[in-house]
Structure 1
Amino acid sequence: MRRRKGPILMVFPGVVLLFCFMTVPALMGMFYSLTDYRGYGGWKFIGLSNYQNLVKDSSILHSYIFTLGFAFLAAILTNMISLLLAAALTQNIRLKGFLRGVFFLPAVLATIVIGYVFNFIFSQAITSIGKGLHNDFLSRSLLGNPQWAWVAIVIVAVWQACAVTTVIYMTGIESISSDIYEAAKVDGANRRQVFWRITLPLVMPFVAVNMVLQLKNQLQVFDLVVALTNGGPGTATQSISFLIYRNGFQGGQFAYQSANAVMYFVLILFISLVQMRLFRSREN
């Protein structure tokens, strides 16, 4: 018991904070999702009515379609680009440490700051270049185009997300024994064969971790939407997190959006479990 007191005392403050600021609000949200609470005033218990109305809400459906499409595309592009970058960078021993620091820099910057910087780039810098080149497409900001605004968010999200995933893949590739690569060279394997036959299968555990983390993070996209488009034009880039925040805290739909948050949590949990199961079988 004496040996256990030390670790328990060290973990106890973190458990208390987690319970107070994560578990309790989550349980309160689940409770309010069964009421008609507007965020102020009184409330009454209405059962599963909020969940039934969510299925019929076209704006909710549009936000789910946008968020899921954006998240899967951004997560796949991030992992593809990061893996290729890591495979190329690990071959350059001299600049490896420097490049690792350079690629990790976007992860240090605040997402909201990155969003406003790229907002200026898309709205001012690129449009000025487009006008100078007399290019109609570049002269108009992507952020104001309902059909192409999502592309701008994907570009910024992938650029920032590649910071962490590239470093993780570099670590994974460096953990592979050099004897394996030397044996492949002796057998006459080229770079493409080495990548597909050796590197990719051996870093599959890192691919699994990065895909789960990236998809989870991209599904929760909020800061970039606020800084780049604020959900616009119209509702073209309105993510689920943004919709929950705006309508829940500003639109008097606290209970309704609490039900939306619960349903979204279940969806993210389901997707994560399916991913883990899929990649676990792939690792084997």
Structure 2
Amino acid sequence: MHSAPRTEYKRNIKWKNALSFIAFVGPALLFFLVIQIIPFFMGIYYSFTSWNGISAAVEWVGLENYIKIFTNDKKFFNSFLFTTKFMIAAVIISNLLGFALALMLNGALKTKNLMRTVFFMPNVIGGLLLGFIWQFIFVKGFASIGKLTDIGVFKLAWLGDEATAFWGIVIVFAWQTAGYMMIIYIAALQGVDKSLIEAARIDGASNWNVLIKIIVPLILPAFTICFFLTTSMAFKIFDINISLTNGGPFNSTESVAINIYREAFQFNNFGLGTAKAILFFVIVAAFTTVQVIMTKRKEVEV
């Protein structure tokens, strides 16, 4: 006799749960579909065309764009080589600096909260604004310091020479991202069991041995996250790059993102530009996947 009302009650609960799910998750899914998924598949389609991004006529050319990239586009491969070198240098320096700051500010410093805020602040500044600020520092600030102190480092043409322009971009990227990595490392360090460190010190372990043998193995998941974030951000660098050097001098610091942007929106080769973007997406996805698998494997071994 009571089974029918109970079944109806359960059905109403399911409907309420479904409506709540749609109300809270539906808008996010809709925006993700419209902004991410649909444009991605449209990009795949346009990569097989010769569309210029303006006209209504879209001519299907098959694999012609991809063949052109591999056979007759030296600038794209030069930009990819620059981006790869930049990624390696930026990931290493950003994580070393972030980890060093985390170790320093995880102690019992009275000003540690203030210092954490100060070091994190560059991360909330927009990349374009950050690039223009540092462009002024490199061009005007360093030149003034060089005249006053006669120190050779400050007298270099930082953004006017290929080698120094490369390191200039690395410095700005590391300065922006190190604070973000610092926060992740601090969170991981605070989860380390202090009794393990105290036991190691009682047994006579040096600070270096405690760091290498205990702390680093215990926070490997944080390294996995930070390496993934900095790798993906370094590969996709655009705003800092374009505001600091605009790919110069002589296209020596042109990243893949700038090369794709120019191909699609300046030269109106939208089909070729999207083909480069799809190819770049596959390479970055493969590289970051391998990196995560390798670091995860290290976590399991430990």
1:139 and 2:155 are equivalent in the alignment: yes
* More deviation, 213-222/183-192: 183-192
Residue 49 (structure 1) aligned with residue 64 (structure 2) = yes
| Unaligned runs of at least 5 residues, structure 1 | none
Unaligned runs of 5+ in 2: 1-13
C-alpha separation between the residues in 1 aligned to 2:99 and 2:268? 44
Map 1:1-284 to 2 at 5 A: 1=14, 2-41=16-55, 42-56=57-71, 57-134=73-150, 138-284=154-300
Distance apart, 1:8 and its partner CA: 2.9
Partners of 1:13 and 1:126 lie apart in 2 by 49
C-alpha distance in 1, partners of 2:155/2:102? 35
Based on CA coordinates, which of the two structures has the bigger radius of gyration?
A: 2
Measured in 2, the distance between the counterparts of 1:203 and 1:79 equals 13
Instruction: Give distance in 2, aligned partners of 1:141 and 1:256.
Output: 35
Shift, 1:94, TM fit? 2.5
Cα deviation, 1:95-150, whole Å, max 9, x if unaligned, reads 33222211111111111111101000001110122233445663342101123211
Preserved contact between residue 157 and residue 164 of structure 2 (Cα < 8 Å): no
Output the CA distance in 1 between the equivalents of 2:109 and 2:248: 45
**Could you tell me which amino acid in structure 1 is paired with residue 89 of structure 2?**
L
**Counterpart AA for 1:157:** F
8 Å contact 1:126–1:141 — kept in the other structure? Answer: no
Q: Which whole-Å CA distance do the structure 2 matches of 1:193 and 1:95 have between them? A: 27
Distance across 1 between alignment mates of 2:215 and 2:262 = 44
Please list every run of at least 4 consecutive aligned residues from structure 1 whose deviation after the TM superposition is greater than 2 angstroms.
1-5, 92-96, 131-141
**Aligned counterparts of 2:154 and 2:114: Cα–Cα separation in 1:** 34
User: What is the TM-score when the length of structure 1 is the normalising length?
Assistant: 0.96
d(CA) in 1 for partners of 2:137, 2:263 = 29
Match of 2:49, as an amino acid? T
User: Does structure 1 retain, via aligned residues, the 8 Å contact 2:131–2:244?
Assistant: yes
Indicate the RMSD between aligned Cα atoms, in angstroms.
Answer: 1.3
AA at the equivalent of 2:160: G
Count of residues paired in the alignment: 284
Give me the whole-angstrom Cα distance separating, in 2, the residues matched to 1:197 and 1:10: 45
Give the aligned residue type for 1:115. G
SS of equivalent residue, structure 1 residue 119: helix
Return the offset for 1:44.
Answer: 0.7
- Paired AA for residue 233 in structure 1: P
2: CA distance, partners of 1:71 / 1:50: 26
Alpha carbons of structure 1 residues 213 and 49: separation in structure 2 relative to 1, 3 Å? same
Instruction: Measure, in 2, the Cα distance between the counterparts of 1:204 and 1:258.
Output: 36
The offset of 1:65, in angstroms, is 0.2
1:29 aligned partner, one-letter code: G
